[in-house]
Amino acid sequence: MIQEAPASIGGSSSHSPWTTFENSMPSREYNLDRDKILGRKNPMTAGVANSTYAGNIPFSDSRLSPIYADLTGLPPMLIQVGGYEIFLDEGIELLKKAAADDIDVTLTVYPFMSHDFAIIVPELDESVKSFAEIKSFVNSRMN
């Protein structure tokens, strides 16, 4: 995907990442009724399952689905996902892919949380914890 990450980039944080356009991840089905943000009741969910973003590009192409990309050379990664979100397994697969490509990677699963739970600050305690984790991650990588 890249030759080498610029030295000025100390890390990346991904929250509820959509890492493949393919629909083969089990959490897309088993969390469909539990994800209160991007679950069955949200009309936008159909766009995830039947994405037109790809045009004629295969869903497994790394330009659309980074879990198929060569991540070698990327800086450390923090991945956060909710235990009830449809992209849960994608966060787990991104962790596996990054680790296989020798990236320093951390995955945090916030139990019972739906897609993009972190944006519900300050009303949701898990959201506050998510931002505290991101802050700690960023601060640990500052020169």
- pLDDT for position 87: 96
**Where do the domains of the chain lie?**
12-140
Query: 25-29, long-range: CB within 8 Å, 24+ apart, which pairs?
Result: 25/87, 25/89, 25/90, 25/93, 26/89, 27/85, 27/86, 27/87, 27/88, 27/89, 27/90, 28/86, 28/87, 28/89
pLDDT in tens, 78-107: 999 999 999 999 999 999 999 999 999 999
- pLDDT for position 3: 58
- Split at pLDDT 50, 70, 90, the class of 47 is confident
pLDDT surpasses 90 at 61: yes
Provide the whole-model pTM: 0.90
CATH of domain 12-140: 3.40.50.1820
- pLDDT for position 13: 95
pLDDT in tens, 63-72: 999 999 999 9
